[in-house]
Copies of this chain bind each other. A is one copy, B any other.
């Protein structure tokens, strides 16, 4: 062997031979490191407190089946055809009726139907954000929205939350800091009701304060509200959009109040913004699925959808109560958690020194799954937290899942006492569970 021959190839083997061709934005599209683990977590013996799939078992399936058959027979020529990019006019009227429950007075012409509210986040980001623009988000924030902001090469600046939601003072500081750095904030992304993942709700007083802060800074608010009608104890809160139509872009969804399989969400936006969103929607899909839209429209027309939401809420309340009781009963000292008034999620802060991400494989081995807190931060924080969802398993399974989880945490604490602090990982959060996980 001559000494010019390398002992091993100097270029490593390329698994992806297309790697030189991808757009820069693909660097913001990461597969979850823990995805493989979630595949294991979907086994029936594992209690998954990880997924956010709504529990649609309470839906009157036979009646829905009849409605869909009737729709096809009576209006198939329309339901099976292309529709407008903005969405079905009758559905947009009905969407305005739904939003009226939260104090919103809107015109159907300012509504754009989207492929779930995920696509709404995508389209709003598409029309507003250039690479390097800043989006201000709660800490923690919805993992699917963070994924969109990464994919559009935005920088996420987090602002603090407490038991009453987004902290106004923290928002003010973030706005000042971004401006001082010569950066541009395009909008505040916020989930005011039954926050995913934090499980808290923004108080009425803070809504006013935050709207004032944003109006003063001329900052748009992206109010993401999939859970607003899923409150357990009180009437729906007044939407932020209800009080500031010019600064707030509002996102809604039928995924939690009816069924996610149709993928029908919407954006309510100021008129000029709505025009841009329609162009973006046409470019993205030509039009959202007509059948889905007319299915939702027929459901709203022919079913007691408010009564159905009440049934959902009773079911979810029972599950939340089961989770909170189990947390009280089993969690070791040093752990704390939020007490959601609705929605799907409890946010747990672990005793100091326990790392939710490194603990996950042990949890799955102990037949319980959750989402590590780091998934919900753009900056690697969250390793002491985790998200538990109570929407899907039965109350008994929830109790058993929390019991197992508490056991894993306690074992971790014991290890730590024996061998010293386990090191916390700081990784960029892409620990997103697959949407079809329980």
Q: Which A residues are within 8 Å of any B CB, using their own CB?
A: 15-19, 21-26, 29-31, 53-54, 56-57, 59, 61-62, 64-66, 68-70, 72-73, 76-85, 115-116, 118-119, 122, 126-130, 133, 144, 147-148, 151, 186, 220, 246, 255, 259-263, 270, 272-273, 275-276, 279-280, 282-292, 295, 432, 434-436
**Copies per complex of this chain:** 2
CB distance B72 to A29 under 8 Å?
no
Dominant SS at the A interface?
A: helix
CB distance A23 to B61 under 8 Å?
no
Instruction: Identify A260's interface contact among B19, B82, B122, CB under 8 A.
Output: B82
Residues in B neighbouring A29, C-beta threshold 8 A: 127, 276, 279-280, 283
Residues in B neighbouring A286, C-beta threshold 8 A: 116, 118, 144, 263, 435
Instruction: Identify A53's interface contact among B19, B68, B82, B280, CB under 8 A.
Output: B82
CB distance A291 to B287 under 8 Å?
no
CB distance A130 to B65 under 8 Å?
no
CB distance B436 to A261 under 8 Å?
no
Residues in B neighbouring A24, C-beta threshold 8 A: 130
Instruction: Identify A283's interface contact among B78, B81, B128, B147, CB under 8 A.
Output: B147
A274 to chain B, nearest CB (A): 10
A144 to chain B, nearest CB (A): 6
Q: A31-B275, A147-B283, A292-B292 are in contact. List 15 more A-B contacts (CB 8 A).
A: A18-B220, A22-B127, A23-B126, A24-B130, A25-B126, A54-B81, A69-B72, A80-B261, A81-B259, A82-B260, A116-B285, A116-B286, A144-B283, A282-B432, A282-B435
CB distance B65 to A77 under 8 Å?
no
Residues in B neighbouring A119, C-beta threshold 8 A: 284-285
Residues in B neighbouring A129, C-beta threshold 8 A: 23
CB distance B62 to A81 under 8 Å?
no
CB distance B23 to A435 under 8 Å?
no
Instruction: Identify A81's interface contact among B72, B126, B246, B436, CB under 8 A.
Output: B436
The residue of chain B having its C-beta at the shortest distance from the C-beta of A263 within the complex is B289
Alpha-carbon distance A282/B437, docked complex (angstroms)? 14
CB distance B287 to A289 under 8 Å?
no
A120 to chain B, nearest CB (A): 10
Residues in B neighbouring A270, C-beta threshold 8 A: 18
Alpha-carbon distance A22/B274, docked complex (angstroms)? 12
The residue of chain B having its C-beta at the shortest distance from the C-beta of A270 within the complex is B18
A362 to chain B, nearest CB (A): 27
The residue of chain B having its C-beta at the shortest distance from the C-beta of A61 within the complex is B76
CB distance A127 to B77 under 8 Å?
no
CB distance B285 to A295 under 8 Å?
no
Q: Provide 13 A-B residue pairs closer than 8 Å at the C-beta atoms, listed in order of the A residue.
A: A16-B275, A19-B272, A23-B128, A26-B127, A29-B127, A29-B279, A29-B280, A59-B80, A65-B69, A69-B72, A83-B261, A126-B151, A292-B292
Residues in B neighbouring A147, C-beta threshold 8 A: 282-283
A89 to chain B, nearest CB (A): 11
Alpha-carbon distance A15/B271, docked complex (angstroms)? 10
Asked, given contacts A18-B272, A26-B276, A64-B76, whether A284 binds B122 with beta carbons under 8 Å apart, the answer is: yes
A146 to chain B, nearest CB (A): 10
Asked, given contacts A53-B81, A259-B81, whether A272 binds B126 with beta carbons under 8 Å apart, the answer is: no
CB distance B18 to A115 under 8 Å?
no
A60 to chain B, nearest CB (A): 10
Alpha-carbon distance A436/B373, docked complex (angstroms)? 45
- 9 residue pairs, one from A and one from B, having the closest CB atoms: A69-B69, A65-B72, A16-B272, A80-B259, A261-B290, A80-B261, A263-B289, A61-B76, A29-B279
Alpha-carbon distance A77/B259, docked complex (angstroms)? 10
Instruction: Identify A65's interface contact among B73, B220, B435, CB under 8 A.
Output: B73
Alpha-carbon distance A133/B83, docked complex (angstroms)? 32
CB distance B61 to A73 under 8 Å?
yes
Asked, given contacts A115-B289, A129-B23, whether A82 binds B436 with beta carbons under 8 Å apart, the answer is: yes
CB distance A61 to B65 under 8 Å?
no
